[in-house]
Amino acid sequence: MMFEFLENSVPITSQQWSEDTVPLVSISCITYNHENFIRDAIEGFLMQKTTFPVEILVHDDASTDKTASIVREYEEQYPHLIKPIYQTENQYSKRDGSIDRIQRGRARGKYVALCEGDDYWTDPLKLQKQVDFLENNPDYGLVHTNFVINNTKTGKKQINNGHFLSDHSLEEYLVGNFHIATLTTCFRKDLLDKIDFSYLEQNFRMGDHPMWIEMMRISRFKYFSETPATYNLRENSASRPVDTKNKIIFQKNIWEVRLYFAGKYQYNKLVDVIKNNIFYYDSLLLLTQRKFGKSICLFISSKTNKISYIIQYLKFFIYYLFVNN
């Protein structure tokens, strides 16, 4: 398929393409009860300056607040860009991967960029930089970046200091402390036609994490250290928890996903390492329940020799023993 390009990057809101022009990039935005955030997300899409056509696919999952009405405002103003779906029944609660299938099925672009409705982009050249790299490096399938974390409770913003995946093997990823932030990703759509989505039957809480693992088996990932996006850290969110206990549960769930794939693709030598990490997070959960004896036994059985883990455990132990009474 032939795609059209402009000579210079211009705002997508001022681009003029014929009705039958196929977008090079499909922006996929899933939103639910994001009335306080969705404007920032959509504005981040609309600020993009590109040499290529873009479509913005918003999926409102039967929001009960004003999210849908806000999306409609933008749809009326930019009908050539914003292509929404307004569900009347919540799809996520079905736990059957229906949202992913819907969004995959209607994306027409050669590339897909993801950003949920409670996050937002801040660099108008985010897409242009990522697409330029992928166009010039056909052996890479996905580009991702660093990002800024915004604590919506305190208003504090900071650059994420995690470890990011770039040119690492799947084996390294399964036992490493690497991170791929969904809101920063841009990848080749044809990867979605090549990977196995049977993991959806497992009902993992983090849908994108297993998708990255499947993609990593067949493609290379590139990491850029810049921060073109902001991740909103919110209370009462399973995927971005603020409180300590839910953070621990979230990290444990990540290792449970890795254990599933280690078994699925017969990385047998990694199974014990992954299980030990699960034991470690279970030991932290026991501390939050003030079950110190059981926690110590489980921590020892995790056989962790990571200094960072040991220090973190000691801090938690002291906190729940002496401070949080």
Is the Cβ–Cβ distance between 316 and 280 less than 8 Å? no
CB 221 within 8 A of CB 165: yes
Residue 192, token pair as written in the block: 């979605």
pLDDT below 70 — which residues of the chain? 1, 165, 235-242, 324-325
What pLDDT score does 235 carry?
Answer: 67
Note the pLDDT of residue 200. 85
Q: Which residues pair with 180 in a beta bridge?
A: none
Positive or negative torsion for Cα 119, 46, 79, 26: negative
Which CATH architecture is the domain 10-233 placed in?
Alpha-Beta Complex (3.90)
Q: What is the pLDDT of residue 301?
A: 87
Supply the DSSP string of 52-77, one letter for each residue. Answer: S-EEEEEEE---SSSHHHHHHHHHHH
DSSP-assigned states of every residue in 170-220: HHHHHHS-EE--GGG-EEEGGGGGTS--GGGGG--S-SHHHHHHHHHTTSE
Does the reported pTM lie above 0.85? yes
What per-residue confidence (pLDDT) applies to 272? 93
Q: Provide the 3-class DSSP secondary structure of residue 270.
A: helix
pLDDT of 3 reads 83
In the chain, what are the domain boundaries?
A: 10-233, 244-323
By C-alpha distance, which of 156, 159, 137 is closest to 148? 159
Task: Supply the pLDDT for residue 227.
Answer: 96
